[in-house]
């Protein structure tokens, strides 16, 4: 066989992870309400699908935003020919304005610092390439998005060093944890070039408070290392306290701005991961210049730039969209967490993101990562839900799972919830509140016994909740 490069044939992509295995399980047997009612429900995909009707309405009212309509075709030729790696001025301006609006207009972004990339994925690689040489390291608080292992490391040769955060303080980043990770890297002869934070957090759905952000800025400034702030979930914060961006904090804390870089994208806040609109926003001129040259590898298509520029320059649309999106996410989150709490499942308190960080520690037979994987296999193979185990996010405590809630229709969510409910009540008395245990006797006669409390079964929106008899659940069907 003709040999290939080490980098191409190595495991740098990080695909050997349950995070991706779960996706494969879903892809081989995807749930469909009619065609595959016993299929796997995808709850491992952080997509924001709750506002598409709202967006569709705008598209219908603005045919000029498309190049394939009589109103838009006049711009077809110039757009098809456009290839400047700076990006269209109106696109950069629209994105800069949107970034400001998402942060409550408390900060302004300069369109000349907006650098395009293929999604946040490309943006992270760009930043890592600009800031660190192969073998140098970036600190990353855990748990963190598994894609970072690929995006920041694979082609750049940069190392990631975990900053261990724990459930005892709700996984907050502390100065001690940062110092410990820094020292560990030094012991391992790794030169630390920066710290990467994700705020709002994937997978936690939490945001960092102003004091934590200030202490982080002081830390990186003292160590003279870079700070990369992944803020791609900024507009998903649906409940107080409000999101605070690193761009606000650097106006309050003295620091060297050359060290500050923001990664942004429209994949989560707008729900457009397919458009691959990623942004590096750096306060460092040299980084802007280098990243701009690298843009050529991952330009956003000019057709997409045209559409996004038209859409995001419509102030009324953007203002209403931000409100609508938060409202939808808030309702979904509330109902989802409430439904889980009815069967005794807790999750980390959160107010953003497209997921919850579900606490299944009580369900582990063994409080180890093997125990976590055993439980995960049952959830994917028997309950038929693709949720992602905490270990794939480098969480240091077994028993946490990330569950996405905004990538499906209400009816699919009901099926997912009914499966979870059935599984929990069947399998574990420890986690179920006593009042439910007594009533249910934890057998699959459960729906009838539970039907005594109809108010338990209704969602806040009046939809029948998963607590209703569960005809959709394969587990129920297997027993009846």
3-state SS of the chain: helix, strand, coil percent to 5?
Answer: 50, 15, 40
Nearest to 280, CA basis, from 450, 99, 28: 99
Site for ligand PLP in 193-252 (CB under 6 A): 198, 202, 230, 232
* CB atoms closer than 10 angstroms to residue 242: 12
SS3 272: coil
Q: Which two tokens stand for residue 252?
A: 């309050």
Query: Which CB atom, from 406 or from 476, has the smaller least distance to ligand PLP?
Result: 406
Q: Nearest to residue 250, comparing CAs of 303, 213, 275?
A: 213
Nearer to ligand PLP, 95 or 432 (CB): 95
> Looking only at residues 275 through 304 of this chain, which bind ligand PLP when binding is defined by CB under 6 A?
278
Nearer to ligand PLP, 121 or 206 (CB): 121
Give least dist CB 208 to ligand PLP, A.
14
Q: What is the token pair recorded at 468? A: 């209703």
Interaction of residue 392 with ligand PLP, rule CB under 6 A: no
Smallest gap, in angstroms, from Cβ of residue 289 to ligand PLP? Answer: 23
Q: Which of 336, 360, 357, 334 is nearest to 424 (CA)?
A: 360
- Looking at residue 379, the DSSP 8-state letter turns out to be I
Stretch that binds ligand PLP, among 115-123, 358-366, 370-378, 459-467 (CB under 6 A): 115-123
- The residue (of 144 and 283) whose beta carbon lies closer to ligand PLP is 144
By CB under 6 A, residue 119 contacts ligand PLP: yes
The residue within the footprint of ligand PLP, chosen from 273, 298, 399, 447 (CB under 6 A), is 273
Radius of gyration, alpha carbons of the chain: 23
> Minimal distance in Å, beta carbon 473 to ligand PLP?
29
Dist. CA 439–CA 272, nearest whole Å: 45
DSSP state of 95: H
The residues with which 263 forms a beta bridge, in sequence order, are 230, 280
Respond yes or no on whether the N-terminal peptide bond of residue 203 is cis (omega within 30° of 0): yes
| Binding to ligand PLP, residues 308-367 (CB under 6 A) | none
Q: Specify the stretch interacting with ligand PLP by CB under 6 A; choose among 114-122, 214-222, 291-299, 328-336.
A: 114-122
Binding mask 161-200 for ligand PLP (x = CB under 6 A): -------------------------------------x--
Question: Of 30, 37, 100, 147, which lies in the binding site for ligand PLP, with binding defined by CB under 6 A?
Answer: 147
- Active-site residue list: 145, 230, 232, 268
Q: Which is nearer to ligand PLP, 141 or 447 (CB)?
A: 141
Number of residues that bind ligand PLP (CB under 6 A): 14
Nearest-CB residue for ligand PLP? 119
Tokens of 222: 């003292």
Which distant-in-sequence residues (6+ apart) come within 8 Å of 187 by Cβ?
Answer: none
Q: Which is nearer to ligand PLP, 124 or 306 (CB)?
A: 124
Nearer to ligand PLP, 194 or 278 (CB): 278
Please return the burial class of 253, using the count of CB atoms within 10 Å of its CB with bins 0-12, 13-18 and 19+. middle
| By CB under 6 A, residue 265 contacts ligand PLP | yes
From CA 165, how far away is CA 142, in angstroms rounded? 6
Residues near ligand PLP (CB under 6 A) are 46, 119-121, 145, 147, 198, 202, 230, 232, 265, 267, 273, 278
């Amino acid at each position: 066989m003709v040999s290939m490069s080490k980098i191409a044939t190595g495991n740098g992509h990080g695909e050997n992870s349950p995070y991706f295995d779960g996706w494969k399980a879903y892809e081989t047997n995807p749930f469909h309400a009619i065609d595959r009612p016993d299929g796997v429900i995808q709850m491992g995909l952080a997509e924001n699908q709750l506002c598409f009707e709202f967006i569709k309405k705008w598209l219908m009212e603005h045919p000029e935003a498309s190049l394939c309509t009589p109103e838009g075709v006049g711009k077809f030729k110039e757009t098809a020919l456009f290839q400047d790696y700076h990006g269209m001025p109106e696109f950069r301006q629209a994105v800069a304005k949107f970034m400001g609006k998402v942060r409550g207009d408390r900060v302004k972004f300069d369109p000349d610092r907006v650098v395009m990339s293929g999604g946040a994925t490309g943006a992270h690689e760009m930043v890592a390439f600009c800031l660190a040489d192969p073998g140098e390291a970036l600190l990353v608080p855990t748990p963190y998005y598994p894609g970072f292992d690929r995006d920041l490391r694979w082609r750049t040769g940069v190392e990631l060093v975990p900053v261990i955060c724990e459930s005892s303080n709700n996984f907050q980043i502390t100065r001690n944890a940062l110092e410990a990770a820094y020292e560990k890297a030094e012991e391992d002869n790794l030169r630390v070039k920066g710290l990467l934070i994700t705020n709002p957090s994937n997978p936690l759905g939490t945001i960092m408070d102003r004091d934590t952000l200030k202490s982080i800025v002081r830390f990186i400034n003292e160590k003279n290392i870079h700070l990369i702030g992944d803020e791609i979930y900024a507009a998903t914060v649906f409940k107080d306290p409000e999101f605070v961006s690193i761009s606000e904090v650097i106006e309050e804390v003295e620091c060297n701005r050359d060290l500050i870089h923001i990664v942004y994208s429209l994949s989560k806040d707008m729900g457009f991961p397919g458009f691959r609109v990623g942004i590096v926003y750096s306060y460092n001129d040299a980084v802007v210049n280098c990243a701009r040259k690298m843009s050529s590898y991952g330009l956003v298509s000019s057709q997409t730039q045209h559409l996004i520029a038209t859409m995001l320059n419509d102030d009324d649309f953007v203002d209403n969209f931000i409100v609508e999106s938060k409202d939808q996410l808030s309702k979904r989150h509330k109902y989802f967490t409430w439904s889980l709490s009815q069967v005794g499942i807790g999750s980390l308190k959160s107010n953003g993101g497209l997921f919850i960080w579900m606490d299944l520690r009580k369900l582990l037979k063994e409080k180890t990562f093997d125990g976590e994987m055993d439980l995960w296999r049952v959830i994917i193979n028997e309950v038929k839900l693709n949720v992602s185990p905490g270990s794939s996010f480098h969480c240091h405590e077994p028993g946490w799972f990330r569950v996405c809630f905004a990538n499906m229709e209400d009816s699919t969510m009901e099926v997912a919830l009914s499966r979870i409910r059935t599984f929990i009540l069947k399998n574990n008395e420890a986690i179920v509140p006593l009042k439910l245990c007594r009533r249910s006797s934890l057998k699959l006669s459960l729906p009838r016994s539970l039907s005594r409390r109809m108010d338990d079964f209704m969602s806040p929106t009046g939809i029948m909740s998963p607590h209703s008899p569960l005809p959709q659940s394969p587990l129920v069907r297997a027993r009846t």
